[in-house]
Amino acid sequence: MLCNKGFFFKYKETIYKVVFALLIILFLLNFAVSATYKLEAFEIELDLNLSTTPSTIIKFPPIGQVFARTHLTPLDVTLTLEAIHQERLAEIIADITDSEDLLELMRRRAKAILDLFAMRLALITILGGIVGASLRGLSINSVLIGIMVAIVIISALYVGTYHTYDLTAFDDPHFEGMLEAAPWMVGLIQEGLENIEQLGSEFELIASNMAQLFTRIEALQPLAQQVGDFQVLHLSDVHNNPVGLQFVIQIANSFGVDLVIDTGDITDYGTPLEGGLLDRVENLELPYVFIGGNHDSPTIIDKMSEFENLIVLESDVVEINGLTIAGIADPAAESNEISPEIENIGDYQQKLKTLVYDQENIPDIVITHQLGIADPLIGKIPVLLHGHTHTFNISQEQGTTIINAGTTGAAGLRGLQHEEGIPYSVALLHYNLTEEGKYRLNIVDVIKLYDRHGGFIMERKLIED
């Protein structure tokens, strides 16, 4: 016992310096080593945190994260996707013709980033060790002790992580957040890499067909201009498809559209990354009325509200050029979850009924994403617009004209899973003024575009009294 006490007092200062150096290093490892790097078109933050369940975590804010137990050292390795630079990504895809070239490019850049991060980690650890060991006084001895403690810790963590790291753990990863509902994304990425050559040639063909089809749309312009005092373009379920948005812009410009009504699901997951693709909505320079669908989110609704030409209806009525429109957002649009449980649809039906009946006159158009929310109003309103099912349909029930625009984005990524393809579809509503100075719907043009087969369908339906 006396020997142990004697040892402690003899080396007391050294022990204190080692302990303080260790504490500062651990503190810095947990809170101060994160750094952001550019991996070609992606900005990625790397971070380390002390953990009792060491894992590699890949975060895709705000839609969730993927993680796997990949190593034994008590650290979580976290990679966070901060941003995607779309123009740079397009350049890379255009330059790469072979999936192996793409993977090799990413490997080289990733290795360079890891080397930089390791150097940064070593520097921070050494500085932390020196600061900790020097808390009780700066000296050459303190500096040497701090450096030695840092070298031991960083070497143990590096060697331990390297030799126990098991990348195959991601063959069976864990999903959290909205990603938990979409693990198929991993398979989609893998399949895309394996078939990059085929996808490239298919998209070249699609682009060629689209150019021809848009030329045909312009050729139909005189037909559209000969009917209606006010043209309303109804779209729905774009599902983050930029081709779908370009389709809308082309139709609007060629057919003399006065107003655009979007009944929701303009995105797939309602994330800020998707919101960045919506800027082209401003290119329409037309009044654009929008309600959130079950795939949209508060984030997307806020983004859409930023556009000067856009009117977001959450539970509101708006009048545009004498045409009154009442709309209510989908209940799921109030949440950041994908397809959350909706148990109170009756409350939303009543909310929409109250909104409509509180008006001095029944609105000319009622818009919802799902038909079921407006069911109680069928027979009480002249026109009901909706989407959600991805199937175009026009019907008349009890005096109400019900129009489902189908999917203006060809169902987004899901459309690629159909061999026959899903058409891009919109409805063009032609309104005429009556002698009483009110609008009446007379004609609906059904416009469908098949990108894979180069097909184009335009069908005109007369609306009876």
Same structural domain, 269 and 349: yes
Same structural domain, 139 and 233: no
How many C-beta atoms surround the C-beta of residue 69 within 10 A?
Answer: 14
Task: Report pTM.
Answer: 0.58
Which residues span the domain enclosing 84?
11-193
Residue 32: both structure tokens together: 């101060």
Same structural domain, 240 and 137: no
Asked if 333 and 309 touch (Cβ cutoff 8 Å), the reply is no
Q: What is the CA radius of gyration of the chain?
A: 30
Same structural domain, 284 and 173: no
Same structural domain, 127 and 241: no
Nearest to 56 by CA among 161, 197, 156: 161
Residue 174 within a domain: yes
Phi first, then psi: give them for residue 409, nearest 5 degrees.
Answer: -105, 20
Asked if 244 and 396 touch (Cβ cutoff 8 Å), the reply is no
Same structural domain, 262 and 319: yes
Residue 127 within a domain: yes
The pLDDT profile of the chain, 465 residues, written as one tens digit per residue, is 445 555 445 567 888 889 999 999 999 988 888 898 888 778 889 999 999 999 999 887 766 788 899 999 999 999 998 877 766 766 766 666 565 666 677 778 888 888 888 899 999 999 999 999 998 888 898 999 999 999 999 999 989 998 999 988 877 777 776 555 444 444 444 444 444 445 445 545 554 554 555 555 555 554 445 567 899 999 999 988 877 888 888 888 888 899 999 999 888 766 655 566 677 787 788 999 999 998 888 888 888 888 888 999 999 999 999 999 999 999 988 876 655 555 678 899 999 999 999 999 999 999 999 999 999 999 999 999 999 999 999 999 999 999 999 998 886 655 544 455 688 899 999 999 988 888 999 999 998 887 655 567 888 888 877
3-state secondary structure of 34: coil
